[in-house]
Amino acid sequence: MIEKKITLVPIGDIDDSLLEYISQSIKTTFNLNTHLIPCQDLIGCVPEPVFGGRYNSTTLLKQFHECLPGKIFKLVAITDLDLYSPIFSCFFGEAQLGGCCALISLHRLGQEYYGLVEDKALFLSRCEKEVIHEISHLFGLLHCSDNNCIMYPSNNIIDTDVKSSSFCPSCNSLIERALV
């Protein structure tokens, strides 16, 4: 039987303290433990960038799924690579709805990307929101129309900043049922 825990895989040079923060956010939100595996376990799964130095997130997710080491319940790859999809020219993450693999990009979550002064607290808040949002997709949650709910889609960084890191009552009920 597969143990219910979230496996984190850093793709690139991801700070250990950020991984610890994300791990704690997952534990607090979902009451699930995390497990860190090294990127080497997915070597060969990251292709060359194909669109202006950006990586196709859908292709990466498919390749990660094919490279999964052993029995994994849910896997979240965290990268500083810039992502795109056939639908969006750039965004912050993608997940297999009801599946086992999600991908989060830190590339556009820092204030520095927008030419502004670094704000560590804001960066951590954005990371937490994106990770919780994408993991929730893994548990089958869809986007929510409540712009304060964590499941509201982030079409830009302002959407991420405005929404809370919590579920609305409806989405909270859905995630509670999904976690049973």
Within 13 Å and on the Cβ side, how many CA atoms surround 116? Answer: 10
Q: Is 73 helix (H, G, I), strand (E, B) or coil?
A: coil
Give residues with Cβ within 8 angstroms of 84, minimum separation 6: 51, 54, 55, 56, 57, 90, 91
Q: Which pLDDT band holds residue 40 (cuts at 50, 70, 90)?
A: low
Catalytic residue among 3, 112, 134, 176: 134
How far from chain centre, in Å, is Cα 57?
A: 11
Q: Quick: pLDDT tens for 92-135.
A: 988 889 988 899 999 999 999 999 999 999 999 999 999 999 99
Host domain of residue 140? 5-178
pLDDT of residue 174: 96
Residue (of 98, 101, 107) closest to 8 by Cα position: 101
Q: What is the mean pLDDT of the chain?
A: 86
Task: Name the percent of the chain lying above pLDDT 70.
Answer: 88
pLDDT of residue 141: 97
Q: Which pLDDT band holds residue 64 (cuts at 50, 70, 90)?
A: confident
Q: What is the mean pLDDT of residues 145-161?
A: 93
Task: Name the percent of the chain lying above pLDDT 90.
Answer: 56
Strands 93-95 and 101-105: antiparallel
Q: Identify the CATH number of the domain in which residue 45 sits.
A: 3.40.390.10
Distance set, CA 28 to CA 24, 33, 60, 113, 180 (Å): 6, 9, 28, 29, 16
Strands 101-105 and 5-11: unpaired
176 part of the active site: no
CB 138 within 8 A of CB 102: yes
Q: Quick: pLDDT tens for 68-78.
A: 666 788 989 99
Quote the number of domains for the chain: 1
Q: Which pLDDT band holds residue 41 (cuts at 50, 70, 90)?
A: very low
Q: Is the pLDDT of residue 152 over 70?
A: yes
